[in-house]
Amino acid sequence: MIELLEQCLRIPSPSGQERAVAEFLCAEMARRGFAHAFIDEAGNAVGIVGRGPRQIVLLGHMDTVGGDVPVRYEDGKLYGRGSVDAKGPLCAFILAAEAAAPALAEDWQIVVIGAVEEECATSRGARFVAGQYRPEMCLIGEPSGSDGITLGYKGRLLIHARAEHEARHTAIPKPNAAELVVALWHHVRALADAWNADRPKAFDQLLPSLRRIQSGEDGLREWCEAMISVRLPLDYGPEALRAAIERWGAGQPEVALSFRGAEPAWRAPRDTPLVRALVDAIRAYGGQPKFKYKTGTADFNVVGPAWGCPIAAYGPGDSALDHTPDEHVAVDEFVRGVSVLTAALRALAHRVSQC
């Protein structure tokens, strides 16, 4: 099983450069007996098993953040960029769909999708497929651990600020460009502190992060710009935060504001056939199911509201290793994750078909 993931890891695929890995995955899915395997208009790798009209979509992503993590085995672990986030879960989807295919009833099909640009604010692959499919259930390929089931992701808003003005002597008692941008950061932090005061759980909080700040001058003009990311709870949407920041900006004419990456938070219910099948499969392989709610954002946030179907995120790997130079997955955990997914898919095809 692990060889598929190893080969996938050896093909670099930072966001926007996924074509080579998409071609590899489509060839692998075709070789493994998928009825259809193709690259769609957005650049996603898509494989379909089963011929029925009712769909279970397994949506993972092929792109990774930057940084080279040499592919290697050490102490029963496979290292490589994407081994956790999220080529590992995507390859587990492919293997599980292949294994579950013979159990599909005539009215079911499994659609495996390796999406592009999940690691970007664009989520281009997920936005494209949101309008192409109408599944009855959806699994998102993200690391939850082989015993974990993720049922919620926080929302997000990215704030870009730039202040620029004519150069002036530092003795002049007016805020310079850097001070104006830092004032915005302090304002965002104050908003978050006020909101979080009586909300002890991270999933319910506003979580701001100063992602980038740069300044400079050329003797005639000085400037400063920053990127702020805010993770959002269910009851504080990106529109509300944008409005609050724009009210601050109305009193700061030297600060230009722009926004992108707006995603609402999304939480799925536990009591669905999808979640029950995962719980039963985890227990069947000796695990103790754990429900998780993530402080990050994923394609879960894009397709969850669009499809409105039972949804959960599952995949082998420790999410604490996402984006790190130590990214790796234990081989035995990866194999167990494939087994759990296979059992859950077989059970879903049987149970739901009998309803």
User: Which token pair is 332?
Assistant: 């035995």
Give the three-class secondary structure for 160: strand
Q: Are 353 and 107 in contact (CB under 8 A)?
A: yes
HSE-CB at 240 with a 13 A cutoff on CA atoms is 14
CA–CA distances in Å: residue 183 to residues 178, 204, 247:
9, 25, 14
Burial of 272 (C-beta count, 10 Å sphere; 0-12/13-18/19+): middle
Examine the residue annotation and report whether 118 is marked as an active-site residue of this protein.
Answer: yes
The residue from 28, 85, 98, 118 that is catalytic is 118
120: its two tokens: 């970007």
Of the residues 28, 63, 85, 225, only one is catalytic, namely 63
Residues 6+ apart with CB under 8 A from 36: 46, 47, 48
How many residues appear in the chain? 355
Handedness of CA 60, 62, 63, 65 (dihedral sign): positive
CA 293 vs CA 53, 89, 203, 266, 300: distances in Å:
32, 17, 7, 10, 12
Pairing of strands 45-49, 266-267: unpaired
Spatial CA neighbour of 262 closest among 150, 130, 160: 160
Tokens (6 digits) for 340: 């759990």
299 is catalytic: no
Q: Could you give the CA distance from residue 110 to residue 103 in angstroms, rounded to a whole number?
A: 11
The enclosing H or E element of 344 equals helix 331-354
CB 305 within 8 A of CB 164: no
Active-site residue numbers? Answer: 63, 118
